[in-house]
Structure 1
Amino acid sequence: MDFFLIYSVVLFVWLFFVLGVLIFAKYIKLDEVESYFCENEKVRENKGFWRRNQWIDRQYRMMLISDFFSDSKRYVEAGFVTEVELASVPVALKRWMVWPNYLLHILAVGTAVWVFWRWWCDIPIP
């Protein structure tokens, strides 16, 4: 079997794995993490604006909280979140907010490699 085909299948499986992790984090873990920030003004404002609980609403609410964890020093200095609020969240929940973004970055790099490889080797798609 051609190595490009194997890479394509692995990338396709990775896509569905990442989507599954993202959907699980968004629909199962997001409400639990938001409960730790019930007193936070920025989270309440964001949740008030994105309150319909549709896919896009949960996406933007999750992006704010994952930004708190991935770049916490900047948000603490800006006054959007406190160290106490960040420390109150268990490590496992922090991972559920941050890792989907990391997995999406890996997927983006893998897709860029796939596109470049297909272009460089002039591989036709039947």
Structure 2
Amino acid sequence: MSPFLVYTIVWLAGSGVVLGLIVFAEYAKLDELESYFSENEKVRLHKRFWKRNRMIDRYHRMSLMVDILSGPKAYLKASLVTEAELASVPLTLRRWALWPYRLASICIIQMVVWEVWRRWCDIPIP
């Protein structure tokens, strides 16, 4: 078995796991996460616009939560969130919100490495 094939299998399996973690976070942790920002105007407007429970709606609502938790200084400076709201989110819930998306960025880097490797070694795709 070639190293390229092994890398492809590991990359695809890892991407499937990361996708599963993202879906789990959006369906199991999003409502709990939004409850900590229930008085926040930005979160309420975002939730009102993406009010249906479809996958795209949950994705956009979760992306706002990830933006707030990954770059809190910008939201604090713009007075869109308060220190108390950020401090009220438990560390485990913060990890469940952020880590699947950080792992997804690693999967994107792996995809670029895969494509460069494939083109460099001139590996045909059947």
TM superposition score normalised by structure 2: 0.98
Displaced runs of 4 or more, over 4 A: none
Q: Aligned with 1:37: secondary structure?
A: coil
Displacement of 1:100: 1.4
CA distance in 1, matches of 2:19, 2:101: 11
Structure 2 residue 59 is matched with structure 1 residue 76: no
2:80 alignment partner AA: F
CA RMSD across the alignment? 0.6
CA distance in 2, matches of 1:101, 1:16: 13
- Correspondence for 2:14: 14
CA distance in 2, matches of 1:100, 1:77: 26
CA distance in 2, matches of 1:84, 1:22: 26
Task: Write the mapping of 1:91-102 to structure 2, written as runs, cut at 5 A.
Answer: 91-102=91-102
Displacement of 1:96: 1.1
- Correspondence for 2:111: 111
Displacement of 1:17: 0.4
CA distance in 2, matches of 1:61, 1:3: 39
Gaps of 5+ in 2: none
- Correspondence for 1:88: 88
Gaps of 5+ in 1: none
TM superposition score normalised by structure 1: 0.98
Identity of aligned residues (%): 54
CA distance in 2, matches of 1:86, 1:53: 25
For these two proteins, the number of residue pairs brought into alignment is 126
